[in-house]
Structure 1
Amino acid sequence: MKRILALIALIIPLQTFSQITTINRNDTIEKMVHEISPDQLKTYIEGLVSFGTRHSLSKDQDQRGIEEARQYVLRQFKSFETQSGGRLSSKIDYYTIEADGRRIPNDVRMGNVMATLKGTDPADDRIFVVSGHLDSRVSDIMNAEDNAPGANDDGSGVAALIEMARIMSKRTFSATIIFVTVSGEEQGLKGAAHMAKMAKEENWNLAAMINNDMIGNSASSGTMLRDNTKVRVFSEGVPMFETEEMERLRKYTNGENDSRSRQLARYIKETGERYIDQLEVKLVYRNDRFLRGGDHTPFSQQGFTAVRICEFNENYHQQHQDLRTENGIQYGDLPEHIDYEYLRKNTGINLAVLASLASAPSVPQEVGIDVSQLTNSTSLKWQAPAAGKAKGYYVLMRETSSPVWEKKFYTKNTTITLPYSKDNYFFAVQAVGSEDTESMAVFPKPVR
């Protein structure tokens, strides 16, 4: 009997303990994450709610309506400019949306509040955009009069942007970061469409766009779940903006799960979970939810890399609802429903990802996988990034059925041969900077 117990004691540890995972955090990024304040986030949301309604069609009134809310956000951004040493500049980008006979009955002036944190490397023209929408609504999309607090939808996203700008404006980054609160989301993604079109026409080197829409609620309606340890990232598979050449390459490589937006989503998961404790990033492999849309979509339609971050559990009693109580249920998007610790975590994911991307070199160029021979190994080659200096590279590998990268191989070279069959695994390459910050991964093109 003693011998049997001894054997069991030896077997159990092998079955219950997995391989140790080492987490290396950049000190500067970690310090910034720790500066995020739930109290500050609460102050911003209460400030936004105080304007009664932020409906995109609301009329200009003293201390009420969306224009007053725009000025409030602009004042917050402006207050951070001095500490930035001149690198942060803020403005409202006004534009006119023509009547569409649906949700825009008459031509209306809208505005996106933008805070641009200029990168410090003149040779690095990359831009990273992080957004939330300022407007709010009640049950009737055309009701611009009644109170529409919009504490979570999308006061939470706007508060996260303001808090990130407060913290990040005190630091320097190689690339440029734009914090933008758009208008007209509820009327048909108008503000995001305006900005995405502008970025396309002005030929921005827009490396990634992250949309934050509803990131402050941790309790669901119906299922009555409450959990502030999970957040979703939505990303498109087959790009909305796909050329014939892109389609041909996707079909040849079976790369429908390796779009640039999917690579950004995986980056958010790995980097976010590295810096934020007790939060799991759940990758949702669709562009957005059923019957809903988000401000990342116009950017995807213009061919940019864009994803949406959204709470894991949704409470439909609080979204797009008139303020009322029925059958003991309180309806309406009120600030008392916000989980500020959850919002702090989700703000931290955004900050860690943006700081890492904007500090890292740009992606490796001309990443290729050798398909000229039938072998049980895999050879890849690439060129150095266009911006920033890479001290090395990670070659990423995963099984074709895995949603996330499973192994990393570090090299200082721009070629590598691995004893794993290219037929059995997917690969990608990312650049590593001097501070161990990493670029997004690049899925290789077949080369002969």
Structure 2
Amino acid sequence: MVIPVVVPMNRRDLLLSAPAFVAALLPALASSKEIRPYPLQHKRSEDAKGRYMSQLNKSKTLDQRIVQMFARIDSTRMMGNIQTLQNFGTRHSLAPSIGQASAWLARKFGEYADSQDAVKMQPFQMPQGPVLNNVLFNSDTAKPSFILVCAHYDSRAHLPERFDQPAPGADDNGSGVAMLLELASILRGVSLKRGVLLAAFCGEEQGLIGSQACAEVAAKENWPIDLVINLDMIGFASPSNPLSIVVEFDQGNAHPRNDASAKSFALRVAQMAADYTELTVEHTNIWSSDYMPFEAVGFPCVGLYDKGGDEAFYHTSKDTIENVNKGRMVAVAKLLTASVISICELTEA
């Protein structure tokens, strides 16, 4: 599977924003249409549609190969990566530190790569702004189809246009990015029937700009994506219901024909929660995050979410690592690992 890139303003801008080992891999540039900001909502639980609680029970037998994979989960590593992301001060899409964050992500993904071309920068033009980068990691290009697991690495504080405010973004969305990196580590050397593409998007807080750029290319190039799994705020454990996780799925958005497939995948994820974790699953429609551009071009989408949008720290300088629960991160890592392996299927030894 070849991952194309989206076009920057010019090659000089691209080389300034990408690590040298990645920039050397980029193909010739082409034109791309202007991306308009997607209208976002404050993600309050009371505004979610299609809400209901999962009623699935634990299966009688478990896949011990999945259980054995849990030994690869490292909570200290996940929390350390969240701390590093927080230490950038802000990861606002227009702040100078955003280039440092993307370069760090590329290096971290590179630690789990078996080949240099497994990590790619996907540049895109912010509306009336700079060229930024999505960071893509794909360790196995030989599979006929794949799932895309994504999280945005940018952050914001009170106002989406203010890049000079502290925006630590530990839960939103350092938690999702740390989970992407953890999945890269967990799956290293694991042979699956479906491929797994990991994508760290930028420009989410300004209207899903990076994910729109990626979805545009995916549709144009007919990427064989079977499912998109979005990780946006997954580390907060509410004192009133610390084991709750929202498993979102497409329910009648731009492409209703995807609804049945998305629901089937969401039920698979919910079953993995029942089988391998103590998490309780609530379902809602997908909304206001990076899966929306992919749904709009026809790909089935699900998401994991912790209801952090209801909390006072949401989109403030108080979204710090103290709001991220280490035990919850481990539980979500188990859920994601089990879901990916169940959906992508281990090959026979």
Q: TM-score, normalised by structure 1?
A: 0.62
Superposed CA RMSD in Å reads: 2.2
- Runs of 4+ in structure 1 displaced over 6 angstroms? none
Aligned counterpart for 2:66 among listed residues 20, 24, 29: 29
Aligned to 2:303: 308
Q: Does structure 1 conserve the Cα–Cα contact (< 8 Å) formed by 2:108 and 2:181? A: yes
Q: How many residues align?
A: 293
Return the offset for 1:281: 2.0
Aligned to 1:343: 329
Return the offset for 1:312: 4.3
Aligned to 1:153: 172
Cα deviation, 1:175-229, whole Å, max 9, x if unaligned, reads: 211111100000001111111111111111100000010001112xxxxx43321
Q: Does structure 2 conserve the Cα–Cα contact (< 8 Å) formed by 1:226 and 1:313? A: no
Q: Secondary structure of 2:99's match?
A: helix
Q: TM-score, normalised by structure 2?
A: 0.79
**Matched residues, percent identical?**
25
Aligned to 2:339: 353
| Aligned AA (2:286) | N
CA distance in 1 between counterparts of 2:127 and 2:83 reads 32
CA distance in 1 between counterparts of 2:95 and 2:269 reads 35
Aligned counterpart for 1:334 among listed residues 320, 335, 340: 320
Q: How does 1:7-406 map to 2 (within 5 A)?
A: 22-59=59-96, 65-81=97-113, 84=114, 86=115, 89-99=118-128, 107-118=129-140, 122=142, 124-219=143-238, 225-242=239-256, 259-276=260-277, 278-284=278-284, 286-288=285-287, 293-312=288-307, 314-321=309-316, 323=317, 332-359=318-345
Q: Does structure 2 conserve the Cα–Cα contact (< 8 Å) formed by 1:87 and 1:117? A: no
Q: Secondary structure of 2:186's match?
A: helix
Return the offset for 1:302: 0.6
Gaps of 5+ in 2: 1-56
Rate the CA distance shift 1:213–1:114 in 2: closer, same or farther, 3 A: same
Q: Does structure 1 conserve the Cα–Cα contact (< 8 Å) formed by 2:308 and 2:314? A: no
| Aligned AA (1:231) | I
CA distance in 2 between counterparts of 1:72 and 1:149 reads 16
Return the offset for 1:315: 4.5
Rate the CA distance shift 1:88–1:176 in 2: closer, same or farther, 3 A: farther
CA distance in 1 between counterparts of 2:117 and 2:193 reads 14
Return the offset for 1:287: 2.3
Q: Secondary structure of 1:186's match?
A: helix
Structure having the larger proportion of residues in strand? 1
CA distance in 1 between counterparts of 2:247 and 2:118 reads 29
Cα deviation, 1:239-269, whole Å, max 9, x if unaligned, reads: 4124xxx5xxxxxxxxx9x522111111110
Q: Secondary structure of 1:46's match?
A: helix
Structure having the larger proportion of residues in helix? 2
Cα deviation, 1:356-381, whole Å, max 9, x if unaligned, reads: 21226xxxxxxxxxxxxxxxxxxxxx
Return the offset for 1:73: 1.1
CA distance in 2 between counterparts of 1:316 and 1:112 reads 28
Q: Secondary structure of 1:259's match?
A: helix
Q: Which has the higher contact order (CA 8 A, sep 6+)?
A: 2
Return the offset for 1:230: 1.5
Rate the CA distance shift 1:312–1:56 in 2: closer, same or farther, 3 A: closer
Per mean C-alpha deviation after superposition, the further-off stretch among 142-151 and 30-39 is 30-39
Q: How does 1:405-424 map to 2 (within 5 A)?
A: none
